Amino acid sequence: MKRKILLVDDDPHILSSYHRVLHNKYALVTAESARDGIMAVSKEGPFAVVISDFRMPEMDGVHFLAVVRKISPDTVRIMLSGQADMDAAIGAVNEGNIFRFLNKPCPVETLMTNINAAIEQYELLMAERELLDNTLKGSVRVLIDILSIVSPLAFKQASRLPQMAKKVAARLKIERLWEIELAAMLSQIGCVTIPGEILEKRERGEVLTPSETQMLMTHPQQGKALLSKIPRLDNICDAIGDQLKNFNENHNSVIQTGNSISMLGRILKAVLDLDGFLQAGKYHLGEYVEMQQAVGGTPGSKNYLGALEKMRKHIEWYDPNVFAALEAELMNVQEGYVVKSISLKEITPGMVTAENIDNDKGVALIPAGSEISEALHMRLLNFAKFTVIKEPIKILHTMKLEDPAS
């Protein structure tokens, strides 16, 4: 089967000459502008390879190929350029947006050699995608089915986690969301080695004996060992192995930080702990997500915010970015923002309240979602002279990641 190739150049004579020698070997489509090229990718794709001239009117080749990458990420991209555009072209290659850079005029033999190399790259990507979509997902499905049969309680917990973990990861700009989804689904796979009575006690919220706790704490490493036999699950294995690790912990009077813990593991830790607190109150993450979807995203109930407050008492256990994203999700904060706790004296005009500002009797002085104007700020300070205002006060804050979310 001939692979589809798109050649884009604003010079019709160049397109015509390449078409004469290439159309017998490839399913060749040509376009005389970046706009026509984008339309071809959108309507006639997928293309195995897109080849673009650098210097074109309206949109140059670098920007055009960047658009192609967004529309069709698997398409392999080649750029043709004259010597004068060398620096810009090399920069584009170094940024990873382009597979090959070829000088103009480009001999037909050289062009064909590079097209064939690009097709090989494309076919490798397609084979990898097939492996992921079929072999890998099939293996994971078998493991999940085994978990549901051997350890129904562990399966029940695992099934509550993926949606919330994915929402938190999305707020953190994690690119491969499927990895956190699979990590959450498989997080309890190691529980197949744990006696059912211990899992039942955990489900009921009963206190475990020291030996039972020690046995239960081994399940992440057991799960990691089981999954390590499946290719392409390295990040997921690390996340599952890290799911019970505290981000900051005082061990033998030495503060150990969790920068070595995988980001997916940090997310699992927070979501699992939230689920544990909700379980104690007989509320489930799955029910929360369904409620949010059913009502179009109303703020979380007191049960969920109460669980969050319990987690806040151990705030050192969690990556600050992850906790902020989880809090923002539970409070239905617009993406791109997190909730920040500040004192009354730190409030300045322009801030937006994330929760009601109440006095010590529970009376709302300023409702959630209010922008603090100059007048409102003065009013709040005047209130403080005659009544006690509950602190900390929670405001919306633009999210800035302290650590790369990778």
3-class secondary structure, 53:
strand
119 band by pLDDT with thresholds 50, 70 and 90: very high
Give the dihedral sign, CA 111/116/122/124: negative
pLDDT at 396: 82
Q: What is the pLDDT of residues 315-368, one digit of tens each?
A: 889 998 899 889 888 877 776 677 788 888 899 988 888 888 888 888 888 888
Q: Which residues of 60-83 are buried (b: 16+ CB within 10 A; e: fewer)?
A: bbbebbebbbeebeebbbbbbbee
257 band by pLDDT with thresholds 50, 70 and 90: low
pLDDT at 91: 64
Same domain, 303 and 172: yes
Asked if residue 57 has pLDDT above 50, the reply is yes
Mean pLDDT score, 237-247: 93
> What is the residue-wise DSSP string for 285-327?
HHHHHHHHHHHTSPPPPHHHHHHHHHHHTTGGGS-HHHHHHHH
> What is the residue-wise DSSP string for 199-249?
HHHHHHTPPPPHHHHHHHTTHHHHHHHHHTTSTT-HHHHHHHHHTT--SEE
CA distance 47 to 197: 55
Tell me if 140 is assigned to some domain.
no
Same domain, 271 and 318: yes
DSSP assignment letter at 331:
T
CATH number of the structural domain spanning residue 99: 3.40.50.2300
Do 165 and 285 form a contact (C-beta atoms < 8 A)? Answer: no
Asked if residue 404 has pLDDT above 50, the reply is no
For the record, the structure tokens of 400 come out as 């800035």
Q: Exposed, middle or buried by CB within 10 Å (0-12, 13-18, 19+), for 59?
A: middle
Q: What is the pLDDT of residues 334-346, one digit of tens each?
A: 766 777 888 888 9
Asked if residue 290 has pLDDT above 50, the reply is no
Q: What is the pLDDT of residues 67-116, one digit of tens each?
A: 998 899 889 999 888 765 666 666 666 655 788 888 888 888 899 999 99
Cβ within 8 Å of residue 399, ≥6 positions away: 171, 321, 324, 325, 328, 336, 337, 338
pTM: 0.60
Same domain, 186 and 316: yes
Same domain, 119 and 155: no
Looking at per-residue pLDDT, the higher value among 124 and 140 belongs to 124
Question: Residue 43's CB: how many other CB atoms inside 10 A?
Answer: 7
Tell me if 111 is assigned to some domain.
yes
pLDDT at 318: 93
Same domain, 365 and 321: no
Query: What domain range includes position 371?
Result: 344-390
Same domain, 179 and 298: yes
* Cross-strand bridge partners of residue 103: 81
Same domain, 288 and 170: yes
pLDDT at 88: 65
Q: How many domains does the chain have?
A: 3
pLDDT at 126: 87
Q: What is the pLDDT of residues 126-176, one digit of tens each?
A: 887 777 667 777 778 888 888 888 888 888 888 889 989 999 999 898 988
CA distance 117 to 284: 51
Q: Give the H or E element holding residue 182.
A: helix 177-185
pLDDT at 58: 83
Same domain, 288 and 260: yes
